[in-house]
């Protein structure tokens, strides 16, 4: 429950309402995530939201060292970490504090991956950045990095079946939460990032 509540902290909604008097879910893609915060409010709001979303995923997993009584080297400990991470992820996607309307969970998932396997997480970040640089699509970059994670884990790192299953769940969840983006990509209607995090297809609202 604690991991879910940590994941539920609505970083994007809190920053938007507190500092800009705006609910980011009413603009852009309608998601309470870092990407939409960049889109709607710019990098001064987007960067803190990104860092908070990553951190809450990382923190939720590390609760295993505080509230668990497993040996840190045991398979049971890894299973417990994974369970905490999944709870945090669901918290971000369905946050209890703001009517269960959250984000897609990519940044929070990154925090979870860093906590569980930072080497694989680093490779996923590199895949994200390369795809973003080539294509300009944040959604496509997120999906490519999500799909990369189970491949990296299964081929190079893991002999633990729980992590293998978790990595597959990560990839599936990324694809499921990006269904609308996939539709827009097919129709060539998805917003393309200009560097400095400005989008061609949408302008930020008046936040004066």
List, for residues 71-120, the tens digit of each pLDDT value: 887 888 989 999 999 999 999 999 999 999 999 889 999 999 999 989 99
Dihedral sign for Cα atoms in the order 63, 69, 75, 76 = negative
How many other CB atoms sit within 10 Å of the CB of residue 180?
Answer: 14
Nearest Cα residue to 144 out of 159, 128, 161, 156: 128
What is the spatial distance between Cα 4 and Cα 186, in angstroms, rounded to a whole number? 34
How many other CB atoms sit within 10 Å of the CB of residue 95?
Answer: 23
Q: How far is CA 121 from the centre of its chain?
A: 12
List, for residues 68-83, the tens digit of each pLDDT value: 788 887 888 989 999 9
pLDDT-derived band at 202 (thresholds 50, 70, 90) equals very low
Q: Locate the domains of the chain by residue range.
A: 2-199
Bridge partners of 199? 193
Bridge partners of 19? none
Residues 97 and 8 sit within 8 Å (Cβ to Cβ): yes
Q: Which whole number is the average pLDDT over 174-194?
A: 89
Q: What is the pTM of this model?
A: 0.84
């Amino acid at each position: 429950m604690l991991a879910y509540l940590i994941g539920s902290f609505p970083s994007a909604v809190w920053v938007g309402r507190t500092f800009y008097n705006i609910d980011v879910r009413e603009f852009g893609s309608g998601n309470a995530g870092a990407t939409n915060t960049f889109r709607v409010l710019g990098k001064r709001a987007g960067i803190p939201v990104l860092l908070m979303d990553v951190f809450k995923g990382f923190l939720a997993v590390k609760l295993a060292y505080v509230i668990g009584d497993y040996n840190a080297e045991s398979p049971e400990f890894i299973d417990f970490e994974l369970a905490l991470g999944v709870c945090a992820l669901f918290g971000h996607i369905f946050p209890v504090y703001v009517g269960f309307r959250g984000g897609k969970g990519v940044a929070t998932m990154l925090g979870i991956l860093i906590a569980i396997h930072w080497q694989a997480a680093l490779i996923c970040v590199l895949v994200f950045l390369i795809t973003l640089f080539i294509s300009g699509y944040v959604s496509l970059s997120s999906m490519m990095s999500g799909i990369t994670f189970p491949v990296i884990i299964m081929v190079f790192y893991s002999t633990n079946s729980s992590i293998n299953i978790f990595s597959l769940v990560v990839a599936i969840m990324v694809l499921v939460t990006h269904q609308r983006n996939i539709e827009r990509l097919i129709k060539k209607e998805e917003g393309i990032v200009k560097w400095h995090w400005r989008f061609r297809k949408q302008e930020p609202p008046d936040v004066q």
